[in-house]
Structures are given as structure tokens and as C-alpha cells.
Structure 1
Amino acid sequence: MAMAQRAMGLLRRSFGLTAPPAQRALSTSAAAPRRRVRWQQQRRWRRRKRRKKKNLFDVVQFLPGWGVGYKVAKTTWRDVSYQITKINLYKDGRHGKAWGIRYKAGVQAADAPIRISGVNKRGWKYIKESQKKLQEAPKVETPAVAA
């Protein structure tokens, strides 16, 4: 019996044969504090929201030549950095492989470039001193060709 009444009620609702639901009494005094609380919660959420950390390719994409010749390091590393020598990008431009010369405490640790591990993981930073060293390097002047 209860099943039949329930089925009949669902059928009436689906065809719109039931009376419209009762209107709720809206009070302006009760709604104002709710809006204020919601706004404060949104403000707190925006403050807590942090920027997503970048992988190596997100960091070097705006550097000339995709950062070849520049130094990068993970934010958690203390004294280790890499000077990028080669980058192999996948089609999407956000993933790939990278090779570089390893530096420890500012001193070159290896002569040959090695593959940099963890380039697709987040938390990479660009070391600004490497740009200064590249700019201060003496420029090679090409001799003028006599015509």
C-alpha cells in the first residue's frame, strides 16, 4: 500500500499535478547576516588560495632560447643548481626532458652535462645571477667585411 502511494506521488510530481510548494517567508533581517558571513568566507578562501608552483618548463618558457645557458634550481634545494644546456620539449610545451651542468654551492660539480631529474615536477625557480653573468660576458665583435 505504501509503495503504491509513493509511486502515485512520484507520478503526480512528474506530471506537475501537485500543488505548488508553499512560499517561504523571506525576512530581510535574517538574510543580511547570511550574506555577510558568506562574503567573509569567500574573502578568507581567496586569501588562503596559493599560486600553483611551476615546473621547469613553465619557468623557462619566457627566457630566450627556452632558458639554455641560464641557471635553475628546485625551491627545496639549498646549494644545488643546473645550468641548462639542452631542452627536449614534448608537443604541449609544458613537459619534456632537460640536460644541464650541475653546480654545487656555486662551483661547477661536473664537466659534462647530465639529464636533470624531476623537471616535470613542480617547485622550480630561476636563479637571477645567471642572467647578470651572461650579460656581463664580453661580446665577440665580428670584423667588418670590406665590400
Structure 2
Amino acid sequence: MTPYLIDDTDYRILQYLIEDSTLSHKDIGEYVHMTGQAVGARIRRMRELEIIEGYTICWNPLKIGQSIHAFITVFLSSNAAHPPFQKFALNHSSVVELHRVSGEGCYWMRVRTGDQAELNGFLDELLEYGNYRINLGMKQLK
């Protein structure tokens, strides 16, 4: 895939959105010396080009009871286990991220649960597809 070229203004708009996606088009326009309407058109173009794929928020999982943060390396038992495992992981509400990896393991997952019992239940389900190694997050630094 050929990378899309954007100009300096598009890049600056993108950086403002990355820093704070709640900024209005008018506010960004003041920073880049454009009208809000012109900024909106550039943002729509970057979305159409899939440079901007979506928006997200920062949140505190502890405030809603998700106190367990686990990083799991999954070792599948066979090649046939990939499709059902992917379906399981993509549809499970505790799985925050899923990456197919090379090197050690087949997948890396980031999982959040409310307590140890919920994590144990998840790990029991995971054993249907293979083995795993788990590391628990202690504190997020960045």
C-alpha cells in the first residue's frame, strides 16, 4: 500500500486531534489559521483516506471496577485452533487488545477483569484453545 501524502497543515491538524480529539474544528482552525469549515473538510478527507480511523478516549478502568490488568501470551494447540480462538477473543468483553505475533507464542492479549475470580474463569475458557503465560500489570507508567 502506498502511503498517503498529507501537507504540513493536515499534519498539524492531525497532531491537534491526537492531543485532544474533543477540539472543535473552529478551535483547530484558529491554531492553523483556517476556518472551521476548511478544517472539517480536511478532517473528512483524512477519514476517507483512512489516515484517521476513529476517535478514542482516555479512561480510568479502576473507577468502573476493572481492577485486574493482565497481559497474556497465548500458545495455541494446533493450526486449526486459530479461527475459533480469534472468534472467542474478538467477541469476549474482557479482551481489550489482541495481536497475532511472531516469536514466542501465537498471540498477545491485554485483558481487564473486575476480580481474580473473573480472570480465572477467562483463563479456564482460554485453555480450550491452548496454553498461556500470564503477567499482571502492577502500575501503568505511560
Give the TM interval when normalised to the shorter protein: under 0.3
Could you state the TM-score of these two structures normalised by the residue count of structure 1? 0.22
Q: Which has the higher contact order (CA 8 A, sep 6+)?
A: 2
Structure with higher Rg: it is 1
**Whose helix fraction is larger, Structure 1's or Structure 2's?**
2
